[in-house]
Amino acid sequence: MSPTDTLRLLLLSSLWGFSFIFLRVAAPEFGALPLILVRMLLGALLLLPLLWRRDYLQLIRSHAGPLFLLGLTNAALPYTFLALATLRLEAGVTSLINAATPICTALMGAALFATPILRQQVLGLALAFAGVAVLSAGRLGFSAGGDGWFILSALAATLCYGFAGNYSRTRLGHLPTRVLAAGSCATSAVILLLPGVLLWPAEPVSATAWGAAIGLGAVSTAAALLLFFALLSSAGATAASTVTMLVPVSALVWGFLLLQEPITLQVLAGMAITLLGTGIATGVVSRRRWRGLA
């Protein structure tokens, strides 16, 4: 990986890690659906000018249905689930649960898209879910005041991403990445428009929450997507996938520095196990390297 791509990778992990801070700050005032509506509207407004060519617009029209499904499963639903999770869970913990996305992608691929699970992925899957279990230990209560529903909400987001990743690869892989990014942003904004407006907060939203919402749409959505696709084009899918392992570290650091969220031994243990499993499942940590560490 070139120095430029390394810089892109570190910057991207920071931008996506910061998204959990933005969610944590803005979600309590906006509510989950209105916040994600703002996020996707702003993201779409910033990305749609990239499609101002007749051939791109034609692709959007001819693939409106698949892009609608992609917008639902890759943005509208998972972003809302994550916003709900951050109403109770710390930014770092939410991001660590979200790091199980490659595992859910493998499961969804096997269940719905006839994609075989490799032996290495089975080991990674078991480790990643063990890490989530460590993170959830003592918190998986579903009574009033418990965190169980919020943990399940974060896990639901990873299932949505798992479906969307397989669907875009198998059904929409021939489309330019800018069409996928802008098209899914726009369709998700349309999906969220009515519920977001109906659930708009009755009380005025503070300038701090508005700033976090704007940062979420402009920085952690539009700018991050462009950076990700630039990295994907330059360094390839394997290198780009390592961002999954860096985002939780970024979110933990930002949460500690800006929100005074504690980094406990339980969180560190869960992070180590989850990221090791994710690394094995994605091939970032190969079996040969893993044996070399033993």
pLDDT at residue 293 greater than cutoff 50: no
Residue with tokens 């190969």: 286
Q: At what angle do helices 207-217 and 32-47 cross, to 10 degrees?
A: 50
pLDDT, mean of residues 217-235: 80
**Among the listed residues 165, 239, 186, the one whose alpha carbon sits nearest the alpha carbon of residue 43:** 186
62 pLDDT tier (thresholds 50, 70, 90): very high
Predicted pLDDT at 276: 86
Scored b (16 or more CB within 10 A) or e, 140-165 reads eeeeeeebeebbbbbbbbbbbbbbbb
Nearest-angstrom CA–CA distance, 115 and 221: 29
189 pLDDT tier (thresholds 50, 70, 90): very high
DSSP SS3 for 141: coil
Predicted pLDDT at 91: 93
Where are the domains positioned within the chain? 3-121+148-261
Predicted pLDDT at 1: 62
Q: What is the pLDDT of residues 103-143, one digit of tens each?
A: 888 888 888 988 888 777 788 888 888 988 898 888 878 87
Helices (H) and strands (E) in the chain, counts: 16, 0
Beta carbons of 30 and 213 less than 8 angstroms apart: yes
Contacts of 98 (CB under 8 A, 6+ apart): 82, 154, 157, 158, 247, 248
Predicted pLDDT at 294: 42
pTM for the whole structure? 0.88
Q: Which two tokens stand for residue 243?
A: 């961002």
200 pLDDT tier (thresholds 50, 70, 90): very high
Q: Which two tokens stand for residue 288?
A: 């040969």
Beta carbons of 40 and 237 less than 8 angstroms apart: no
Predicted pLDDT at 117: 80
Q: Which two tokens stand for residue 70?
A: 């992609």
pLDDT, mean of residues 272-291: 72
What is the CA 171 to chain-centroid distance, rounded? Answer: 20
How high does pLDDT run on average in the chain? 86
Q: Which two tokens stand for residue 135?
A: 């993170």
Beta carbons of 192 and 36 less than 8 angstroms apart: yes
Cα Rg for the chain, rounded, in angstroms?
A: 18
Nearest-angstrom CA–CA distance, 35 and 221: 13
Nearest-angstrom CA–CA distance, 39 and 26: 11
Other Cβ atoms less than 10 A from the Cβ of 50: the count is 15
Provide the percentage of residues in the chain whose pLDDT is more than 90: 45
Beta carbons of 2 and 231 less than 8 angstroms apart: no
Nearest-angstrom CA–CA distance, 82 and 231: 24
Q: Which two tokens stand for residue 222?
A: 């539009």
